[in-house]
Amino acid sequence: MSDINRRYVLVVNGKSAGDPALRAAVAKKRRAGMTLIVYATWEAGDAALFAEMSVDHGATHVIAGGGDGTVNEVVNGLMRVPREKRPALGIVPLGSANDFARSLGLPLEPYAALQAICRWDTQPVDVVRISATGRGKGVDEYYLNMATGGFGAEVTSSTPKFLKRLLGGAAYSLMGALKTWRHRSYEGTLNWDDCEEKAAFLLVALGNARQSGGGQVLAPRAKINDGYLDMLLVKDFGSVRDLPQLITELRQFPARGRFVRYLPVSRLAVSTDPSHPPWPLTLDGEAHRFDAFSAEVVPLALRLAMPANSSLLIHDDELMHHDDFQPPSDTRSGYAEATGDTPATEAEKPH
């Protein structure tokens, strides 16, 4: 689509509406001929509503101006629009963490971000639908970046540094963190594809992209257009003697470790025993508690303005290999050593 036929709507978080760099960028792009309408949010829900309404104004692109929460709301608004009419998504990062924008490699300065959105072709990307129920309420939402559940979700929503320490840290800092946060695990039954696992989990992360919580890379091998969620499971440990193994696995992301599992799934359902506490689940920085939730990929549901050479995209020449997904051999042998058990069987592979 040539730029002359594009109509852009910028949905900006009200908190950032007066940002001088953003105002200057919008003015400059308009002078250069960009058709750009701006809506600033007043209260929660506005960004989704404005994104949905933008179709009535003939928008071809809706630009989310804000942090990951604004992007999330705009995605939910766009997903209410029938697919054939759905505008493409652009992002002008204005938040403090901007995890999603950073993993896409987007410019972080408003003018450069608008320039890039005008210049780039859009790429079809997966969107994740999440349904959760518990304590009399339910949500049915979409996300583009990452969902985290369990103990990790509670602490990551309040302490962005926690998992960074956990993933990169030594045993003493891990123990310190766990003590500070009165370490607890969540019992649950997980079902994905043809597999089931019942255990006590510290963390479950479902990455469409790679990082959340202010730079914590929880899904390092995620691709945003492969039809899979990268699932990270971190199981609870029994004693301090297990910590070195847990930390090693947190650095390697093995397909089947003793404590850590990392694998692509197209769908995951989590349910808890009614006698156990409900799970915290974080979708956009805030944790809510649910007794059950399920996540499912909606393949290539949205077009996104992003660099065509991004490492988050799986390219045509990689697709045929991806169908034969195999975890790296070093992590498989790591599992065998750790448990004396055999590596993942054929049935446990995602295909």
Closer to Mg ion by CB, 73 or 226: give it: 226
Interatomic CA distance for residues 21 and 27, integer angstroms: 10
What track of x and - describes contact with Mg ion for positions 111 through 150 (by CB under 5 A)? ----------------------------------------
- Piece of 138-146, 179-187, 224-232, 255-263 that binds Mg ion (CB under 5 A): 224-232
Residue 226 touching Mg ion (CB under 5 A): yes
Measured between alpha carbons, how far is 219 from 228 in angstroms, rounded to an integer? 12
Amino acid at 260: V
Closest CB 146 distance from Mg ion, rounded Å: 11
The DSSP annotation for 102-147 comes to HHHT--SSHHHHHHHHHHSPEEEEEEEEEEEEETTEEEEEEESSEE
Q: Choose one: 23-31, 109-117, 217-225, 255-263; the region binding Mg ion (CB under 5 A).
A: 217-225
Compute the least distance from the CB of residue 339 to Mg ion, in Å.
28
Closest CA to 281 of 166, 179, 137: 137
286 is catalytic: yes
Burial tier of 325 (Cβ tally within 10 Å: 0-12, 13-18, 19+) = middle
Nearer to Mg ion, 151 or 228 (CB): 228
21-60 residues in contact with Mg ion (CB under 5 A) are none
Q: Which stretch binds Mg ion (CB under 5 A): 17-25, 221-229, 330-338, 343-351?
A: 221-229
Q: Which residues pair with 143 in a beta bridge?
A: 128
Minimum distance from residue 128 beta carbon to Mg ion (Å): 9
CB contact at 8 A, 221 and 253: yes
User: Does residue 248 sit in helix, strand or coil?
Assistant: helix
CB of residue 317 vs Mg ion: minimum separation in angstroms?
A: 17
| Structure tokens that stand for 111 in this block | 């003018």
Spatial CA neighbour of 74 closest among 11, 27, 121, 137? 11
C-beta closer to Mg ion: residue 84 or 316: 316
By CB under 5 A, how many residues form the interface with Mg ion? Answer: 3
Nearer to Mg ion, 210 or 332 (CB): 210
In the bound state with Mg ion, the residue whose beta carbon lies nearer, of 143 and 228, is 228
| Tokens, residue 115 | 């320039």
Length of the chain: 351
End-to-end CA distance of the chain: 36
Host H or E run for residue 331: helix 329-339
C-beta closer to Mg ion: residue 145 or 282: 145
- The span from the CA of 300 to the CA of 196, in Å, is 27
Which segment (87-95, 140-148, 226-234, 342-350) binds Mg ion by CB under 5 A?
226-234
Q: Which two tokens stand for residue 181?
A: 């946060």
Position 100 contacts Mg ion (CB under 5 A): no
| Least Cβ distance, residue 228 to Mg ion (angstroms) | 4
Q: Does 228 bind Mg ion (CB under 5 A)?
A: yes
Q: Pick the catalytic residue: 286, 296, 318, 348? A: 286
Applying CB under 5 A, the residues found at the interface with Mg ion are 223, 226, 228
**Which residues are designated catalytic?**
286
